[in-house]
Structure 1
């Protein structure tokens, strides 16, 4: 049996206010207007889709996805607040039922049959802010 292959793909981050730091585009704590939320979701979907294409990730029978966030400081954060960003990123990797959305089609759908989504992981500590997906592809 072939071993799964691992890939890393950057997820785009955005500024919440002018001159502010880069942060994950969506959070459970956000209260965006529905159009602003839709715009941020689109940024994630297209950014992840294009980054995954550049990484040359092959299609597979099943993928496992984990969202990682290095905030660049030691403040307390809840992992579950990053779930909306994870969902939008996973939507970019699967075709799904929406034929108008041009996803990457690594798997047919983002249901548990084809994709496992782990809870996001936060890496505290000083350094550069970064948001990325770890994708494990099984042939």
Structure 2
């Protein structure tokens, strides 16, 4: 039986963006750190146990058809995945590393959901280890 966890993230929009610090590396680093700390806490609260490997999918649900670049979501996905495999005190290490043998990270998705508020969900699914 495959286990899966869907975590509703506390952000309506991606917290880490390619131009989020507008050139200020300290502001950008602070956003990355806060995002990673938040993900570590959410993963612990969800009770995700250590896994051999996992698939991590980021989905952003939006209420309108404004053009958005899905590539920009990868800037948020990276600290989320780092928090699931990292060694910082605030990380929740569920897999040995965030390399492809332990963590599959498909391109994030943006899904139109009319009449609903913006919402970001991270889905973590247990998969067999490839090693």
TM-score by structure 1 length?
Answer: 0.82
Pair 1:46 & 2:37 matched = yes
* Corresponding residue of 1:134: 123
Secondary structure of the residue that 1:23 maps to in structure 2?
coil
Which ranges in structure 1 are unaligned for 5 or more consecutive residues? 14-21
1:84 offset after TM fit, Å? 0.8
Secondary structure of the residue that 2:49 maps to in structure 1?
coil
Count of aligned pairs: 125
Whole-angstrom CA distance in 2 between matches of 1:54 and 1:117: 22
- 81, 85, 90: which is aligned to 1:94? 85
Secondary structure of the residue that 2:122 maps to in structure 1?
strand
1:67 offset after TM fit, Å? 0.5
1:72 offset after TM fit, Å? 2.5
1:38 and 1:45, CA in 2 relative to 1: closer, same or farther beyond 3 A?
A: same
Which ranges in structure 2 are unaligned for 5 or more consecutive residues? none
Whole-angstrom CA distance in 1 between matches of 2:19 and 2:107: 17
1:133 offset after TM fit, Å? 0.5
Whole-angstrom CA distance in 1 between matches of 2:123 and 2:23: 27
Matches within 5 A, 1:59-78: 59-78=50-69
